[in-house]
Amino acid sequence: MTSPTEIEGAEASSVLDKESEPQGDAQEPKKLAGRSPGQLMWQRFKRDRTGVVSACVVIFFFVVSALAPLIAKVYGKDPYTLYAQEPDFPFLLDDFAMPTGSFGGMSGEFWFGVEPKLGRDVFTMLLYGVRTSLYMAVVVTTLCVLTGVLIGLVMGYFGGRVDYWLGRVTDFFLAFPQQLFFIAFMPVVTAMFVSPQDETPTYLRAVAITLVMWFLGWMGLARLVRSSVLSLADREFVEAAKVSGASPWRIVRKEILPNIVTPILVQATYILPGTILSIAFLSYIGVGFVEPTPDWGRMFAIGSEVYEQDPMFMFFPGVALVVFVLAFNLLGDSVRDAFDPKTGR
């Protein structure tokens, strides 16, 4: 496969080597040739300190949420128990059901404090809340990316009438007021699975949220993929493949897809935090996850209720969310810069 990125990459690599290792350049001239665009990207990325730090932060969040049960076990608490009612902790909440200790009841026993009213442990609530949000967001983002890429490829590659009508469908979905749609359809989608009289199990809520978000999450990516495919479709290497008799599927898979992977990846790093924020938004206004599922967004709903008396409750979930979104945004920028150093910030 001859791709335009490879050609650009070859130029960049010689420049890079002169800057970084002038001695090595003279001794091992062969090193110049054998570098894939991926390796080049990785090298550029490694040098970007902000990018590396934010990547570490993002990885930290993922590791922590994957290990949540283990951490909770070592820590010795879980997000469901109402510790205020346990005989082991008699004075956790005062007469107004607010945490007794200073800073929201922070102590060696309860690292991030105690939840007002119910007396649950904030640390494990946050741990599991992040876990719920991250898992959901990964699933939703994967679905949106797959759908977007598929529809974008179809639109861009087949063109003509298919392109026109799929384009109109995309426009139609873009015209929906997104959050209002989420609000309106959460109960509808939930009601498709369970009758309104019954209690909705948590996993069905998760499925409903996934469906609703998936439904309105793919359009941006589809447009992006379509336009990239259109710009690639007339390139020589695609035409060469066509002339030599490759099937459309092979052309898409071998010639086009490898060239649009990076913009898709960059876009996905922007979609993922957006999805987390949308899920948090739903839970915050009360149509997403409900008690007792630990959820990041719902912690803000609880926090804003008790903010006047116990501002500390919101501190950790809030800071965690800001750090996470910030790290993800910076990571997205760095990945984009590493891929294409010409588009500076």
Contacts with another protein by CB under 8 A lie at: 171-172, 175-181, 183-188, 191-192, 195-196, 277, 280-281, 284-287, 300-301, 303-304, 307-308, 311, 314, 318, 321-323, 325-326, 329-330, 345
Quote the CA–CA distance of 1 and 6 in Å, as a whole number.
9
Cβ at position 52, least distance to another protein in Å: 17
Quote the CA–CA distance of 66 and 135 in Å, as a whole number.
9
Residues 331/269, Cβ–Cβ less than 8 Å: yes
- If the CB atoms of residues 247 and 304 are measured against another protein, the closer one turns out to be 304
- If the CB atoms of residues 300 and 339 are measured against another protein, the closer one turns out to be 300
Cβ at position 269, least distance to another protein in Å: 14
Strands (E), the chain: none
- If the CB atoms of residues 221 and 277 are measured against another protein, the closer one turns out to be 277
Quote the CA–CA distance of 3 and 278 in Å, as a whole number.
37
Quote the CA–CA distance of 142 and 271 in Å, as a whole number.
10
Cβ at position 149, least distance to another protein in Å: 20
Cβ at position 24, least distance to another protein in Å: 33
Cβ at position 98, least distance to another protein in Å: 14
Q: Which of 124, 174, 122, 181 is nearest to 148 (CA)?
A: 174
- If the CB atoms of residues 28 and 305 are measured against another protein, the closer one turns out to be 305
Quote the CA–CA distance of 84 and 99 in Å, as a whole number.
9
Cβ at position 134, least distance to another protein in Å: 16
Per the structure block, which two tokens stand in for 133? 């949000």
- If the CB atoms of residues 101 and 220 are measured against another protein, the closer one turns out to be 220
Quote the CA–CA distance of 276 and 325 in Å, as a whole number.
9
Measured in degrees and rounded to the nearest 5, phi and psi for residue 266 equal -60, -45
- If the CB atoms of residues 109 and 340 are measured against another protein, the closer one turns out to be 340
Indicate the SS3 state at residue 95. Answer: coil
